[in-house]
Amino acid sequence: MRSLFVLLSFLIGVQNFYILRKDNSKNHQEITRIAILRVTKEVRKSMDRRFQEPNKLDVKSLARACKKQEHESHFQRGIRVILYYNVMTDLTYSASPHHHFDNEMFKEGKELITKGIHTTIDQMNRNLFDDARKKLGEIMHTLQDFYSHSNWIEMGNTEPCTALINSDENIPNPADKNTKTCEDNPDGVDLKVKKDILERKILTSGYTRKSNPKGKTLNHIIQSLQMLVC
Ligand SMILES: [Zn+2]
């Protein structure tokens, strides 16, 4: 299982980031691990006024700062389970565009996240912690893909899209299916998101090569652009 995880981690890293990976860009596992550590630290801080932040944010230092050294290995394992199912989403749901916010499936992707949050909480309330970790890993993957597979960052946004986790809020300005979102270059190969799409702040995402309709952007093009700003 451990070696499979290492292998999968490596594969996903290669698939997503080899194109234009910047030195400071992070993959799914790294983003997820940092988020868990930060949130755990903040929760602990809110519970204990005398909590002293560790100098280094890793499992060992955080467990020590929380005075929970005896739970360090459980904490480590819990994080690994979440990371594993995050990574597995690219394999288990490789043919399901809305799990990755591909093909402009914003409504469907959001539904996965909001339903997934409820499922995770319900599983925690029933002490089904590994099921909850699995679901959390999956929805974090989809959430992260929103930023790497859509043009959210290119549109100039510097804040997260709150509509992704808020049922009462609509995803802002998604492109409709007939809107051409991609420039054509002279060779007839679609190269980049159209300037006026960015100026009018229309949200679009990449299409998989199989399902790529004319005038829409190919997935790897958007991903490579996004990596520049991650
Ligand atoms: Zn994905």
**What is the DSSP secondary-structure string of 6-59?**
HHHHHHHHHHHHTTT--TT---HHHHHHHHHHHHHHHHHHHH-TT----SS-SH
Amino acid 190: pLDDT: 52
Give the Å distance between the CA of 90 and the centre of ligand 1.
5
Give the Å distance between the CA of 167 and the centre of ligand 1.
22
* Burial of 230: CB neighbours in 10 Å, binned 0-12, 13-18, 19+: middle
What are 60-76's pLDDT values in tens digits? Answer: 999 999 999 999 999 99
Amino acid 10: pLDDT: 38
Residue 138 phi, psi dihedral angles, 5° rounding: -65, -45
Regions of the chain where pLDDT drops below 50 = 1-20, 224-230
The pTM assigned to this predicted structure is: 0.81
Give the Å distance between the CA of 141 and the centre of ligand 1.
6
Give the Å distance between the CA of 149 and the centre of ligand 1.
8
Say how far apart CA 143 and CA 137 lie, in whole Å: 10
Tell me the domain boundaries of the chain: 1-10+26-92
Give the Å distance between the CA of 195 and the centre of ligand 1.
26
